[in-house]
């Protein structure tokens, strides 16, 4: 599944809307969402490593050059045969080359078993992924959402979610992480859906205006 489509008519979204008035207003304003997914597990993690601490545009450029190096065949076997100087020429830092090598080694020897990972619970997936160099909790949470399609994940340290929550609930910057923690038990078991709608706040630029959710409903 390359995209995930969800909207106000879906039962899970309806259930989420009943738990939180502001979230209900946001859902009604945004409407249906089409979310790009990353069903290729290895490729997804490679992209996440490349994207660390650089802009989306730069990450896309580096990833594109890496795909060209492996002729579109983004597999552990292909990555193993790329020499470090070609990685550097594609725009990868020395640290990210180490991270890619570690990821590739873990997948290649089945320490990270993609055939079984979908059978694990969320915490077990996070534990397994964060053993790999360069993969932290946030990256593992994004993998849960966009690659495994888990529907009850809330990455409270994600800046986009924090910005969306700050705007939606009109809290101070210092409170934006706390509001996510406060809302977590309210939104369960639909944390991922709540996340999709909060990210859309940023995507649509609502958080950069003086408008509140009440101003646009």
Query: In CATH, what number is assigned to the domain containing residue 121?
Result: 1.10.340.30
Specify the pLDDT at position 53.
83
Final residue in a domain of this structure, among 146, 170, 187: 146
Q: Is residue 58 part of a domain?
A: yes
Segment 12-56, tens digit of pLDDT: 999 999 999 999 999 999 999 999 999 999 999 999 999 888 888
Specify the pLDDT at position 139.
93
Entry pTM: 0.92
One of 157, 158, 207, 214 is an active-site residue; which one?
Answer: 158
Q: Please check the confidence at residue 1 and state whether its pLDDT lies above 70.
A: no
Specify the pLDDT at position 54.
84
The answer to whether 16 touches 124, Cβ cutoff 8 Å, is no
Segment 127-178, tens digit of pLDDT: 999 999 999 999 999 999 999 999 999 999 999 999 999 999 999 999 999 9
Final residue in a domain of this structure, among 104, 128, 146: 146
Kindly state whether residues 127 and 65 are assigned to the same domain.
Answer: yes
Q: What CATH number is attached to the domain comprising 176? A: 1.10.1670.40
Cα 5 to chain centroid, rounded: 16
Regarding predicted confidence, which is higher, 117 or 56? 117
| Tally of domains within the chain | 2
Final residue in a domain of this structure, among 146, 177, 195: 146
Q: Please check the confidence at residue 199 and state whether its pLDDT lies above 90.
A: yes
Kindly report the average pLDDT of the chain as a whole number: 95
Give the mean model confidence (pLDDT) for residues 104-113: 93
CA–CA distance, 189 with 15 (Å, rounded to integer): 9
Cα 84 to chain centroid, rounded: 28
Task: Look up residue 148 and give its two tokens.
Answer: 């495994």
Domain that includes residue 52, residue range: 41-146
Tell me, yes or no, if 158 is annotated catalytic. Answer: yes
Q: Is residue 213 part of a domain?
A: no
% of the chain with per-residue pLDDT over 90: 92
Kindly state whether residues 52 and 134 are assigned to the same domain.
Answer: yes
Q: Is residue 214 part of a domain?
A: no
Specify the pLDDT at position 173.
95
Q: Is residue 180 part of a domain?
A: yes
Kindly state whether residues 157 and 199 are assigned to the same domain.
Answer: yes
Kindly state whether residues 137 and 161 are assigned to the same domain.
Answer: no
């Amino acid at each position: 599944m390359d995209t995930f489509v969800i909207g106000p008519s879906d039962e899970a979204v309806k259930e989420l809307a009943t738990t939180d008035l502001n979230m209900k207003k946001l859902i009604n304003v945004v409407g249906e969402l089409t979310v790009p997914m990353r069903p290729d597990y290895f490729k997804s993690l490679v992209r996440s490593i490349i994207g660390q601490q650089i802009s989306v545009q730069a990450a896309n450029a580096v990833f594109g050059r890496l795909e060209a190096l492996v002729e579109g065949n983004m597999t552990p076997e292909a990555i193993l045969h790329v020499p470090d100087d070609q990685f550097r020429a594609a725009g990868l830092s020395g640290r990210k080359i180490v991270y890619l090598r570690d990821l590739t080694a873990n997948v290649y020897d089945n320490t990270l078993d993609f055939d079984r990972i979908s059978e694990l619970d969320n915490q077990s997936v996070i534990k397994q992924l964060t053993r790999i160099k360069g993969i932290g909790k946030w990256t593992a949470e994004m993998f849960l959402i966009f690659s495994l399609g888990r529907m009850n994940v809330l990455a409270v340290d994600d800046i986009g979610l924090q910005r969306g929550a700050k705007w939606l609930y009109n809290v101070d910057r210092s409170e934006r992480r706390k509001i996510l923690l406060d809302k977590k038990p309210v939104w369960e078991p639909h944390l991922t859906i709540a996340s999709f709608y909060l990210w859309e706040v940023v995507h649509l630029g609502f958080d950069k205006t003086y408008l509140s959710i009440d101003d646009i409903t």
